Amino acid sequence: MRNTLILLLTAGLLLAACVPAQTPAPVEQPVQPQPVVELPTQAPPPPPPEPTAVQPPAPQYAPFCQSAPVACQPPTIELRDNAFCVEKVPYAILAVPAGTTYESQDADMECIDQATADGSLRITCHSKEGKQLWSYNLKVCNASCRAPSLQVGTGQCPEGYGFDATNQCCAVPPAAGSEAGCIIYRVDIGGCPSG
């Protein structure tokens, strides 16, 4: 409807511009009124649909691992004796599950395997300098809790996950500085009787 109005106005202006200014006025002739014909009204056409943004296809990631590789528990540690003396050097004797790994966190403390009994491993620790009544840290780990090495940033897993190439799945990497199934245990070395 608006387009028709604009078209009529443009045609009228064009005719007015083409008519010479000095033409005699037309003689009026009786004009018979035109019968009014009502045209059915049409609803305006619906607006064109808004263009939808083309969504890029969602990236295809590897599946998530079924079990969390870092859900292992540290081993239980039992202090059997902390004042077992050999030549005036006190030893601490610990019992841990067989297969447990350990590492002294202090260069002065030395720990060695003694024996395996009843499904547990006996570890003896002592000061290399023969210190008595001293405490050291020992890192003890559950050997069955080795987390797989995860590759981060390969595009095979969502952000925040690492790809486990062995199991072909995505897992949350362990927090920095933490190890699955490990604990720092404080070993208190006792004293030997004098005499």
pLDDT averaged per 10 residues in sequence order, the chain, 195 residues: 71 63 61 66 73 74 74 85 91 92 94 84 93 94 76 89 88 68 92 84
**pTM for this predicted structure:** 0.51
C-alpha distances out from residue 177 to 19, 34, 114, 158, 173, Å: 94, 95, 30, 22, 11
pLDDT at 22: 60
For 72-122, how does the pLDDT look when each residue is reduced to its tens digit (9 = 90+)?
788 999 999 998 999 999 999 999 998 899 999 999 999 999 877 788 899
Ramachandran class of 67: left when φ > 0, alpha when ψ lies in -120 to 50, beta otherwise: beta
Type of residue at 186? R
Question: Can you say how many angstroms the Cα of residue 159 is from the centroid of all Cα atoms in its chain?
Answer: 5
**Which CATH architecture does the domain made up of 78-146+180-189 adopt?**
Sandwich (2.60)
Task: State residue 37's pLDDT score.
Answer: 63
- Going by C-alpha positions, the residue among 175, 113, 101 that lies closest to residue 138 is 101
**pLDDT score, position 70:** 45
What's the N-to-C CA distance of the chain in angstroms? 119
